[in-house]
Amino acid sequence: MKVLKFGGTSVGSTKNLLKVINIVDIASRTSNVVVVVSAVGGITDKLLQAANLAIQKSRAYKDVFETIKTNHFDIIEELIQSGSKSNIETILQAHFNELEQLFDGLYLINELTPKTTDQLLSIGELMLSNILTEAFLDRKFDVALKNSQDLIVTDANYTKATVDFENTNENVKTYFKACRASISVIPGFVSRSHNGNTTTLGRGGSDYTAAIIASALDAVELQIWTDVSGLHTANPKLVKQAKPIHNISYQEAVELSHFGAKILYPPTIQPVLNKKIPITIKNTMNADDAGTLISNNNSNENHLPVKGISNINDIALLTLQGNGMVGIPGFSKRLFESLAQEKINVIFITQASSEHSICFGILESDAEQACNSINAHFENEIKLHKIDPIIVEKGLSIIAIVGDRMKSHQGISGKVFSTLGRNNVNVRAIAQGASERNISAVIDKKDVKKALNTLHEQFFEVKTKQINLFITGVGNVGARLIAQIDKQKKFLKQHYKIKLRIIGLSNSRQMLFDENGIDLNAWESQINNGETASLKGFFNAVSTLNLRNSIFIDITANDQVANMYQHYLKQNIAVVACNKIACSSDYEHYNTLKQLSRKYNVPFLFETNVGAGLPVIDTLNHLITSGDQVRSIQAVLSGSLNFVFNNYEDTNTFKDVVKQAQKEGYTEPDPRIDLSGVDVARKILILARESGTVMNLEDIENTSFLSKAGTTSNSVNEFYQTLTDDENHYRDLYNSATSKNCQLKYVAEFNDGKAKVGLKEINEDHPFYNLKGKDNIVMFYTDRYADQPLIIQGAGAGAEVTASGLFADIIRIANN
């Protein structure tokens, strides 16, 4: 004998009922079957809607009732093809007459009691079982219908009746011993009390009906047919990478279900669990899917320590604490008795070993009632200050990591909490049973999706790390970075198990977000249709999405954007900055950002601040962390200025070269930023600070090579005019250098805690002399590199290399 249960959306339409018929047909070819069918979640929702309208004196209940009636007769018309429909129509009409009387009565008395609720809902169950039976008969199946109210005996606790198993088991065995049909149809969820009144079995009641029947008959299998293909490693609606679980133990299934896996309600499967009857969870809409087998066999096809992750939302955490609890027996007993008296279910418990506090989790809807009850029970102790009034925290969720094999694997707890910590998921309370089958943690509700995805990535995915990028500034460099990411994303996933997704983009006008990842082939058109950009709006969107492994990337030269870094770091969002303003701002601000990075264990990288894509800062940091001491730095740090002076010759003018540099993207739109030397001063300041020196921008000596008119110009156009007017000034600098067989280079120097920048004539013996094009060069003189400096040289300007430097910082974070 097999027991098959169908319910919810899997019986909510003619199409789905036809699938149920086909599934039962196949199953009945090899075994007698009991079909438990339930309308809970379908017809019952409409019945309750009509009832609530009736008690609110709304005549609209009649419209809902007529809709229910029409739907049922439509199903009959579609489902019953060959035989007469008169018999089932007569049966249904009798049920509808009863329903109409109930609704009219509710309209008059304005009250829906638990007893009436059970009467109302039972009619929906009985109608569905009648329809399905008639459909089987129409197809010449060997079928019998039995009202489960004649079998399942309960007390009179309406809507949550308790089963009398002794009488129920006897009734089931007696009926099925006499029943000769190969298919038996039974309505789920409904029962009858000892005194003959209609009752229902509460949450999960239809599963409970099936489990009761299966247990009484010692069935070989209980199949629960739903609208999903079994249990998953996590909630598929929250974790897209969730995978079906093909095999799971009873204990694992109960743990996952207790903590939110909605396919099963643990109390309802207790009857079959006691007899170790296998349970299979299958999908009515995809009957060929393997589904999940729940059995006593603790097989694990992947040999993974963790079988699944689940969660419960809308949790309140209550804490009873006080010095008067220490060493005094009875506090726990009184606490939980007070909750039991109010019929409040405790989901989560943890207690400090000091006995100073007890912490427990309940549904948020029960919090106020629990608080009042506990404070009343401990009123005397609270007055005497032996304990504190109960502390209530709301807006929380519980996540649970479940697996029988966890106890034989070391370090599972460490992986769980380090993974959550790296993603700024604060854990409020922790509980782990002695069986080590379950690790539970209470977290903020807003962090649930991030926590589930992070843990799922850690324990179930092929170590592919998903990195979520949010880019502000999508001009020349930003566009190159997006193109590089698009080109390399498949390579990174295949070879380095890194999955890069750009979730947010912003320019100065619009911003665009897509939680599933922006289409990198259409981002330019999409951002033009995005929402109005704002720094606060962008930050709020990033924070609200709350995705794991998030990185904010600043490719602007905007001081207001730089001022947002601290907010991102505090949210455990990594920052990659092309913008030099933050790291060259007041030392106190720079130091605050570095401290926040350490405090929240979140990366703050700015390699492209110096040398574009050259590994200058990374190399410097390795020198410092390995114990070396920087004594001197000499560098040409402006690819723009190097390009200008390398191309300034007898055959052109200084203005022509500056214009060319701007056109080729080597200078900022305002070339005064580059030619004033401030940009170079910022760079040497950053290197000095990263070397361990406390210094501000005003401490750097900046000797400008610009003419007086050039330094005081008020606009870009005015500045270009000064270059024309003062060509002789720049020609004199050039002639002076060439007369000495020297090259002009704009040099940054750091020596003995002091820094300066300025134009220098470099002789042919110096490493700077042959520096070509837009190249940068940095020479580190350290304790280890005292005689021959450590030299880094290469392209130090240009959108492509700058984008590659940003890309490198992203990969550094991904590999962290």
Q: Please report the sign of the dihedral spanned by the C-alpha atoms of residue 475, residue 477, residue 483, residue 486.
A: negative
**CA distance linking residue 20 with residue 37, whole number of Å:** 10
Three-state DSSP at 248 gives: strand
Q: Please report the sign of the dihedral spanned by the C-alpha atoms of residue 593, residue 595, residue 601, residue 605.
A: positive
* Residues 444-485 pLDDT 10s: 999 999 999 999 998 888 778 899 999 999 999 999 999 999
- The pLDDT of residue 404 is 85
Is there a catalytic annotation at residue 683? yes
**CA distance linking residue 462 with residue 86, whole number of Å:** 59
Three-state DSSP at 201 gives: coil
> Which contiguous run of DSSP H or E holds residue 749?
strand 743-751
Q: Please report the sign of the dihedral spanned by the C-alpha atoms of residue 98, residue 101, residue 102, residue 103.
A: positive
| The pair of three-digit structure tokens given for residue 660, joined into one six-digit string | 């060319």
> Is 472 within 8 Å of 561 (Cβ atoms)?
yes
**CA distance linking residue 753 with residue 648, whole number of Å:** 33
DSSP letter assigned to residue 609? G
**CA distance linking residue 558 with residue 571, whole number of Å:** 21
Q: How far is CA 740 from CA 56, 333, 582, 735, 763, in A?
A: 100, 94, 40, 9, 8
* Residues 647-685 pLDDT 10s: 999 999 999 999 999 988 788 788 998 899 999 999 999
- The pLDDT of residue 353 is 64
Query: Left, alpha or beta for 350 (phi > 0: left; psi -120 to 50: alpha)?
Result: beta
Alpha helices in 648-726 (DSSP H): 654-663, 672-675, 678-690, 708-711, 716-725
**CA distance linking residue 502 with residue 305, whole number of Å:** 32
Opening angle at CA 782, ends 679 and 677, nearest 5: 10
Tell me what the mean pLDDT of segment 618-643 comes to.
95
Kindly list the strands in the beta sheet with 357-363, ordered across the sheet, starting from the edge strand earlier in the chain: 348-351, 357-363, 308-321, 391-402, 438-444, 427-432
- The pLDDT of residue 512 is 97
| The pair of three-digit structure tokens given for residue 530, joined into one six-digit string | 């995005």
- The pLDDT of residue 354 is 61
**CA distance linking residue 616 with residue 626, whole number of Å:** 16
Flag whether pLDDT at 82 surpasses 90: no
Q: Taking the C-alpha atoms of 362, 363, 366 and 368 in order, what is their torsion angle to the nearest 10 degrees?
A: 80
* Confidence category of residue 10, pLDDT binned at 50, 70, 90: low
- The pLDDT of residue 665 is 78
Flag whether pLDDT at 579 surpasses 80: yes
* Residues 502-542 pLDDT 10s: 999 999 999 999 999 999 999 999 999 999 999 999 999 99
DSSP letter assigned to residue 648? -
- The pLDDT of residue 435 is 63
Opening angle at CA 118, ends 116 and 120, nearest 5: 70
User: What angle separates helix 114-138 from helix 60-79, to the nearest 10 degrees?
Assistant: 20
Q: What percent of the chain has pLDDT over 90?
A: 73
Tell me what the mean pLDDT of segment 779-790 comes to.
96
Burial of 571 (0-12, 13-18, 19+ CB in 10 A): middle
What pTM does this model have? Answer: 0.74
Q: Which of 683, 745, 760, 774 is catalytic?
A: 683
Alpha helices in 110-155 (DSSP H): 114-138
* Residues 227-255 pLDDT 10s: 888 889 999 889 988 988 999 988 888 88
> Is 469 within 8 Å of 551 (Cβ atoms)?
yes
* Residues 46-78 pLDDT 10s: 889 999 999 999 999 999 999 989 988 888 888
> Is 507 within 8 Å of 558 (Cβ atoms)?
no
Residue 452: CB atoms within 10 A of its CB come to 22
Q: Regarding beta strands 153-154 and 391-402, do their DSSP bridges make them parallel or antiparallel, or are they unpaired? A: unpaired
Three-state DSSP at 356 gives: coil
> Is 472 within 8 Å of 541 (Cβ atoms)?
no
Flag whether pLDDT at 333 surpasses 90: no
**CA distance linking residue 122 with residue 113, whole number of Å:** 14
**CA distance linking residue 175 with residue 172, whole number of Å:** 5
DSSP state string for 500-516: EEEEEEE-SSEEEE-TT
Closest listed residue to residue 782, CA positions, set 641, 607, 625, 653: 625
Q: What letter represents residue 19's amino acid? A: K
Tell me what the mean pLDDT of segment 214-219 comes to.
96
Q: Which residues have a Cβ under 8 Å from the Cβ of 57 and sit 6 or more positions away?
A: 107, 110
| The pair of three-digit structure tokens given for residue 13, joined into one six-digit string | 């339409």
User: What is the rounded average pLDDT for all residues in the chain?
Assistant: 91
| The pair of three-digit structure tokens given for residue 92, joined into one six-digit string | 């249904």
| The pair of three-digit structure tokens given for residue 534, joined into one six-digit string | 């704002």
Query: What's the alpha-carbon Rg for the chain, to the nearest Å?
Result: 37
Question: Tokens 């837009």 correspond to what residue?
Answer: 774
Opening angle at CA 653, ends 649 and 654, nearest 5: 90
Q: Which residues have a Cβ under 8 Å from the Cβ of 506 and sit 6 or more positions away?
A: 471, 472, 473, 474, 512, 527, 533, 538
Burial of 293 (0-12, 13-18, 19+ CB in 10 A): buried
DSSP letter assigned to residue 522? S
* Confidence category of residue 41, pLDDT binned at 50, 70, 90: low
Half-sphere exposure of 652 (CA within 13 A, CB side): 13
* Residues 402-436 pLDDT 10s: 988 887 788 888 899 999 988 889 999 998 866 67
* Residues 361-415 pLDDT 10s: 999 999 999 999 999 989 988 898 888 999 999 999 999 999 888 877 888 888 9
Query: Left, alpha or beta for 552 (phi > 0: left; psi -120 to 50: alpha)?
Result: beta
> Is 63 within 8 Å of 46 (Cβ atoms)?
no
- The pLDDT of residue 298 is 59
Number of H helices, E strands in the chain: 29, 30
Q: In 3-state terms, the chain is what percent helix, strand and coil (to 5)?
A: 45, 20, 35
**CA distance linking residue 456 with residue 239, whole number of Å:** 8
Q: Do you know the residue count of the chain?
A: 816
Three-state DSSP at 425 gives: coil
Burial of 741 (0-12, 13-18, 19+ CB in 10 A): exposed
Q: How far is CA 723 from CA 518, 650, 710, in A?
A: 44, 16, 7
**CA distance linking residue 542 with residue 431, whole number of Å:** 31
Flag whether pLDDT at 40 surpasses 70: no
* Confidence category of residue 554, pLDDT binned at 50, 70, 90: very high
* Confidence category of residue 798, pLDDT binned at 50, 70, 90: confident
Phi and psi, residue 551, nearest 5°? -130, 125
Closest listed residue to residue 406, CA positions, set 448, 441, 434: 434
Three-state DSSP at 775 gives: strand
